Amino acid sequence: MNSGQTLFAQLVEHVPAHEFRKCVHKYQGNRRVRTFSCWDQFLCMMFAQLTFRESLRDIVACLRARDRQLYHMGIRGHVSRSTLGDANESRDWRIYADFAQVLITDARQLYATEDLAVDLANTVYALDSTLIDLCMTLFPWASYKSTQHAIKLHTLLDLRGHIPTFLRITPGQLHDVNMLDQLTLEAGAFYVMDRGYLDFARLHRWTQHGAFFITRARKDFRFTRLLSRSVDKTTGVQCDQTIALVWFYSAKGYPDRLRRIRYWDTTQQRRLVFLTNNFTLPALAITELYRSRWQVELFFKWIKQHLRIKAFYGTSENAVKTQVWIAVCTYLLVAILRKRLKLDPSLHTILQILSVSVFEKTPMNAAFFAANPLDGDIDPCKQLNLLDF
């Protein structure tokens, strides 16, 4: 890798430009565009994500301060607040949504051998959503409650490498259970979700497609026990049963048998009841898979803290979705970079270093090699003694 390139330019080298051009061509993103292309827009917004810029004015001021380096960073067009703002408002957000799918495929291939909480060859997904609050005056289209406007980010996270494989941005009032209709199911995979997704008619599709789900039962759950298995109660598993639903609409929606596992969580001192259509894994493994669902909560917390998806550079629905999808692309690119270069620092550390050194001209490996300089030994002979006279 050329040591004369900036870190930002070296990161851009990992962007599959040909696939990006295909996405732009699909939605005619550069139609009637003379100077500021979709590629320029993508790089400017990716720069904003990496360096935590606060506004369009902030982005433009920082880029213009390094005007001589923009060409070598890949930015060919003239950067101004109006052109960047207009691009976010008018360029189809689906360009960046489709490009994110390309990066998801690359990232999943790189992280396919990552370990899970359970020794399991199957793919394990965690499904959940998070709210992103918006100003009622500036974002009237994002209706949620009478006193609150918000969008909801629905995510299906591959727990091998924490790669988001499915994302949807909807108004906050849309219920989570509707996302079950949009998932393309993978036979043999496990889908872990909380009880907000408990809809037996929809979940029956998992059984029909040979996929497995793990969720929690509601308090008013009614069933009849068909079979009980012996369990080791010292592990926290209190019972492992095969059941059938008894309420008319539930039994009509899910006519097959289910597995019910009751577990006592000693950490939080509470009882948890799990439902699944898998009858082969040990009961304790089912509970551990559900415990790993919290990785999607950590993912939401991480991207909210380290990417710009809580303060937006535009107010239209297209601008908001464009910014969120480019934030996801940035996350995926850093994850791909970390795996390809076999970097030891975490994604958090890599982003922190990039945020202050994107214009540095140093090889990428060298930039992260001394990510924890205090960990090494310090030669005491080279330290000055304050009391030495």
What tens digit of pLDDT does each residue of 156-177 get?
999 988 899 999 998 888 899 9
Residue 136 lies in a domain: no
Per residue in 338-351, pLDDT (tens digit) is 999 988 888 888 88
> Do 265 and 321 reside in the same domain of the chain?
no
Does the pLDDT at position 68 exceed 90? Answer: no
Check: CB of residue 24 under 8 Å from CB of residue 95.
Answer: yes
Beta-bridge mates of residue 153 = 130, 169
Total residue length of the chain: 389
Q: Is 302 part of a structural domain of the chain?
A: no
In a domain, 108, yes or no: no
pLDDT in tens, 348-382: 888 888 888 888 888 888 887 755 544 444 444 44
Residues 270 and 328 in one domain: no
Please tell me whether residues 85 and 33 are part of one structural domain: yes
SS3 259: strand
CATH number of the domain where residue 264 is located: 2.20.25
Residues spanned by the domain of 62: 7-96+314-375
Q: What is the mean pLDDT of residues 15-37?
A: 92
Residue 288 domain-assigned (yes or no): no
Strand partners, 104: none
**Residues 70, 3 contacting (CB under 8 angstroms):** no
Residues 206 and 260 placed together within one structural domain of the fold: yes
Token output for 125: 């997904």
Instruction: Quote the DSSP letter at residue 343.
Output: -
Q: Which of 250, 277, 304 is the last residue of a domain?
A: 277
The mean predicted confidence, pLDDT, of the chain is 88
Count of domains observed in the chain: 2
Q: With residue 368 as reference, give the H or E element that holds it.
A: helix 364-369
- Which residues lie across from 272 on neighbouring strands? 263
Query: Structure pTM?
Result: 0.84
Q: What pLDDT shows up at residue 145? A: 86
Q: Is residue 244 domain-resident? A: yes
